[in-house]
Amino acid sequence: MKTNSPSTTQKPFENGKLLYESSEKLIEWTDNLNRFRRDFTIAGFNVPQLDLALIEAMRSRSSQEKRYECYLDEVLKESVQLPRGLWNVETRKSLQPEERSKYLDFLQNAIQSNEFGPLGNSQTHAILDPNYILYSNLKVRDITTWEKHISVVERQKQSEIHKFHERINLISPSARTVDSSNVIKVIQAIADEQKLECALVEKGRTPRVILRTEIADGISMYLEWSDLLALRKWGSLQLVFVVQESDRQIWASGEIRSCPFAVGLSRLVPGGDWYSWKNADWDSMVLGFLANAEFLRICSNQLGNA
């Protein structure tokens, strides 16, 4: 497994923000996200499509509205320009007028003036898409529909485990114990299969494994796993995509860093977080790692085709 030595020539990020040039490149990169999502689906990862279908079925959109994926892309473009990528209704107020999304402004004004009608607990500090607001309230508003959706998602995950069983068997260690050693073996095997750089940053009780690839000129994306306890107890994969300038080091062991931009798969592929949730068996866990790494690979492969 490849490891990286700390560099002494790099300065820390100011306020956890990307450089201006890097932000511009990353905003351009987001224009390709629909293509990445399409290729992700073509590769056989269909769970996100179930979420998208349910979100769009929540209500009929007006002619001025766009689908949820478009909303999410606008959120990402604003997030890129915020410290540590922390986006919500309050933090977006700090953006300059030319940095703000006109579509998000429209949604925010429409919600505040009640143009979309009652949306329940809107969580307007974090969500501006009216369909997603209704979706996020399903557990309270319509538990029967929510439970049916979970069942459909779980069946789809099992279908994908069956579809990818040969790949899963190749990258999965013979032992099925959920411990750091086996998880690291799985991630390393996926990295080898996907031809992604892999680094074990910390060992012992708090292992952190990082996959890295370049997604644009001078911009790298990392996929980090770090929480064995959540994986062992709840089947929850604590995976995060981090974007940084390519010439910066993979952070040193134990370092508390201020990431300029860090998101989960669901911020890049709507519904992608289901791969990180409630993995009741070892094969589901391997599928979750594989799905996240596959999306990272797709972003890398598209670099030469942009």
What mean pLDDT do residues 204-232 have? 86
pLDDT digits (tens, 9 = 90+) for 83-115: 878 899 999 999 999 999 999 999 999 998 999
Residue-level pLDDT at 51: 95
What mean pLDDT do residues 283-288 have? 94
Residue 178: how many other CB atoms lie within 10 Å: 16
Residue 249: how many other CB atoms lie within 10 Å: 15
Residue-level pLDDT at 1: 40
| Rounded Cα–Cα distance for residues 282 and 254 (Å) | 28
| Rounded Cα–Cα distance for residues 273 and 149 (Å) | 14
Size (the chain), residues: 306
* H or E element at residue 47: helix 47-56
Q: Which residues pair with 216 in a beta bridge?
A: 219
List CB contacts of 255: < 8 A, sequence separation 6 or more: none
Q: In what side-by-side order are the strands of the sheet with 219-225? A: 197-202, 208-216, 219-225, 239-245, 262-263
Residue-level pLDDT at 9: 38
pTM for this structure?
A: 0.88
- The pair of structure tokens assigned to 167 is 């790949």
Contact yes or no for 208/225 (Cβ under 8 A): yes
Contact yes or no for 297/196 (Cβ under 8 A): yes
The DSSP secondary-structure symbol of 85 reads G
Share of the chain above pLDDT 90, in %: 52
Report whether pLDDT(141) > 70. Answer: yes
Report whether pLDDT(253) > 80. Answer: no
pLDDT confidence band for 7 (50 / 70 / 90): very low
Q: Which residues pair with 223 in a beta bridge?
A: 211, 241
Closest CA relative to residue 130, chosen from 52, 71, 47:
71
The DSSP secondary-structure symbol of 273 reads G
Residue-level pLDDT at 234: 86
Strands, E, within 105-203: which ranges? 197-202
Cα dist. 305→26, 35, 208, 216, 217 in Å? 16, 11, 31, 11, 12
Residue-level pLDDT at 121: 64
| Rounded Cα–Cα distance for residues 234 and 43 (Å) | 27
Report whether pLDDT(71) > 70. Answer: yes
